[in-house]
Amino acid sequence: MSSSASPLTKTNQSRRPRRLRTTPAMRDLVAETRLSPSDFILPLFVADGLDAKREIASMPGQYHHTVDTLKAIAHEALDAGVTCVDLFGVPVDGDKDARGSVAWAEDGILNRGIRALREEFGEDLLVMADTCLDEFTDHGHCGVVGTDRFGNEVVLNDETIECYCHMAVSQAEAGAHIVSPSGMMDGQVAAIRRALDEAGWDNVAIMAYSAKYASSFFGPFRDAVRSSLVGDRRAYQQDPANARESLLEAELDIAEGADFVMVKPALPYLDIVARVSDFSPIPVAAYHVSGEYAMIKAAGNNGWIDPEAAMMESLTSIKRAGADQILTYFAIDAARKLHA
């Protein structure tokens, strides 16, 4: 093409950004965002009453684990370079009650799982524990249910926090390095920090679910924890329409002593991840949740997308938005891809 016909003017002719996209080596050289296996936190489910691991139907490739298979998958994670797991306990229905009291029982399934991992790995693997009651209550809410003065059923904030404190201390005693309150009760971080410190566990960190939205993307997770919930959690989880509220929640959790803050879900809320990371003086995590995972798996299994490419693109976008840690069910697969 002659210079007279070129759409490039003399002033911008030397600027050809495509020069930095020509080969894989060139693209890698100038990549602005880099994923590392150490960025990932692997959520795992340990279930009571099983004699073998069982695949979760709505989350292909994810399992309800026995204590033994839990240790085996944690070894796989560590071998791939993933150094932190987030553990959820799934009790048998007969152990559920209105307060979720098996959540802090020494022989409860979650504390047994924590203890097994800590005994197996010592300090080589970081063990984070979910500090919430929804898996353990017979009604499926994240706390103690009561009534307000008008007779409406509500989750009672302060009574619930008392249970979270019992749960966090029991998790620390079982060996958790990090506790992760996810119930969105006001003041939960301050209360848990105080309870841990008073019990002598001042070295146990808190990852606060600071901006947890009442999201439709949690559906497969509720299947995974065999939730008893009827209804929704919109009265205490955040409205998807709101953004400033997330900044307030994160600011409060930081002031109350959180060691990490988290945004959940990740992909529909990348704007929130970016805004929180802009001001947070502490690490910012994002949870690539069950629905996000299940959509990629389903589309991939149907041949509609390249699931591996979609996995890596999704995780890169979360890191690009500002997340320091990413909780993802793809942790092992993504870590192995990075090593390939």
Do 186 and 248 meet the contact criterion of CB atoms below 8 Å apart? no
| β-pair type (153-155, 145-147) | antiparallel
Cα separation, 34 vs 313, whole angstroms: 11
Burial 77-92 (b: 16+ CB within 10 A, else e): bbebbbbbbbbbbbbe
Cα separation, 103 vs 98, whole angstroms: 11
Per DSSP, the three-state class of 171 is: helix
- Please tell me what DSSP assigns to residue 31: -
Of 264, 297, 319, 337, the active-site residue reads 264
Q: CA end-to-end span of the chain, whole Å?
A: 41
Cα separation, 97 vs 100, whole angstroms: 5
Do 299 and 19 meet the contact criterion of CB atoms below 8 Å apart? no
- Among the listed residues 220, 224, 245, the one whose alpha carbon sits nearest the alpha carbon of residue 90: 224
What single letter denotes the amino acid at residue 89?
Answer: G
Can 264 be counted among the known catalytic residues? yes
Greatest Cα pair distance, the chain, in angstroms, is: 81
- Please tell me what DSSP assigns to residue 66: P
Do 331 and 41 meet the contact criterion of CB atoms below 8 Å apart? yes
Cα separation, 296 vs 301, whole angstroms: 8
Can 212 be counted among the known catalytic residues? yes
Of 53, 96, 212, 319, the active-site residue reads 212
The residues annotated with a catalytic role in the active site are 212, 264
